[in-house]
Amino acid sequence: MKIAVVGATGLVGGLMLKVLEERGFAQEEILVAASEKSIGKKIKFSNRELTVQSVEDVINQECDYAIFSAGGQTSKKYAPLFAQKGTIVIDNSSAWRMQEDIPLVVPEINASAIKNGDKIIANPNCSTIQMVLALSSLQKNYGIKRIVVSTYQSVTGTGVKAVKQLDCEKENKECERAYPYQIFENILPHGGDFLSNGYTTEEEKLINETRKIFSDSSIAITATVARVPVKGGHSEAVNVELRKPFDLNDVYKLLESTKGVVVLDKPSENLYPMPINAEGKDEVFVGRIRKDESIENGLNLWIVADNLRKGAATNAVQILEYLTSK
């Protein structure tokens, strides 16, 4: 196979190469593309070095698959050109997610949404992926009426510039800002851009993508996104109102049997998910599982995952695995 990674010099792009190597694609022909300033750079992959090429040059080499993590504008411009060459594109930006004829896929939940002939497949937002994977068995068995989610998202979700800002501020140095305010020892109730209704684009993604992945536009969802001074993963406080009465023991069993989910929930031992434990792992961790005693059929969950791995790179490579297994 010939596989392209577009945006290979970024945080997620670099991790996509690592995950490709980890998950059995080390012997395939891998092409790496990035912006003009990175052309000619060398990237280590498995036991060899790859040379960064322009996206235009890679398009003309007629790859079987292209995994994108280069932002929405780049994807809008180049993904259709790859598709015209017969390449199947797996895109990590928000460019295609809500387009009706583009599948939005978390493989453990809805890989069957990918149809023969699909040339562009969308990878959901990182915070959406971890939430829907944790809730997928509950949706299937009980149905979900309403979700209230508050996120505590790491700076790596914003990118290299945000990580540098946090590091600079820790050392009391001046540096270019990714955020409008200090992030070190601070929390910003602000993810993405503000919309006319007062919500942000990150909050809107959680709402719209969850409904699309679950194929249920009737789910009432509200979200608040916050950025926290953490590097290693996103955390979410999720309150769910189910459509049917539930037994808490059954909820535990469903979560424990959900592929890709790990339950960490022993309050007496102070055992619960934290981003410091999720960093570098592909699983979604769930804890603080308890009934919401203020409403009928209410449930509270605390959900943590590495936003760069399962939230981005790993999910994209899992889509590739599904396609190649077919």
Q: What is the pLDDT of residues 108-122, one digit of tens each?
A: 999 999 999 999 999
With left for phi above 0 and alpha for psi between -120 and 50, is residue 4 left, alpha or beta?
beta
Strand partners, 88: 65
User: Do 56 and 149 fall within a single domain?
Assistant: no
Q: What is the pLDDT of residues 80-107, one digit of tens each?
A: 999 999 999 999 999 999 999 999 999 9
Answer positive or negative: Cα dihedral of 52, 57, 61, 64.
positive
User: Do 202 and 112 fall within a single domain?
Assistant: no
Q: What Cα–Cα distance (Å) separates residue 202 from each residue in 47, 115, 128?
A: 38, 28, 9
Which CATH number belongs to the domain containing residue 239 in this structure? 3.30.360.10
Q: Identify whether 234 is a catalytic site residue.
A: yes
Domain extent at residue 257: 127-307
Q: What is the pLDDT of residues 298-323, one digit of tens each?
A: 999 999 999 999 999 999 999 999 99
Cβ atoms of 88 and 121 closer than 8 Å: yes
Residues 6+ apart with CB under 8 A from 57: 33
pLDDT (mean) for 251-272: 98
Which CATH number belongs to the domain containing residue 30 in this structure? 3.40.50.720
Catalytic-role residue among 168, 175, 190, 234: 234
Percentage of residues of the chain with pLDDT beyond 90: 99
Q: What per-residue confidence (pLDDT) applies to 232?
A: 87
Burial group, residue 198, by CB count within 10 angstroms (0-12, 13-18, 19+): exposed
User: Do 269 and 139 fall within a single domain?
Assistant: yes
User: Do 245 and 318 fall within a single domain?
Assistant: no
User: Do 131 and 116 fall within a single domain?
Assistant: no
User: Do 320 and 208 fall within a single domain?
Assistant: no
247: its two tokens: 């037994």
Catalytic-role residue among 63, 126, 168, 190: 126
Residues 6+ apart with CB under 8 A from 283: 260, 261, 262, 305, 310
User: Do 316 and 301 fall within a single domain?
Assistant: no
Q: How many folded domains does the chain comprise?
A: 2
Q: Identify whether 175 is a catalytic site residue.
A: no
Burial code (b: 16+ CB inside 10 Å, e: under 16) for 13-30 equals bbbbbebbbeeebeeeeb
User: Do 70 and 192 fall within a single domain?
Assistant: no
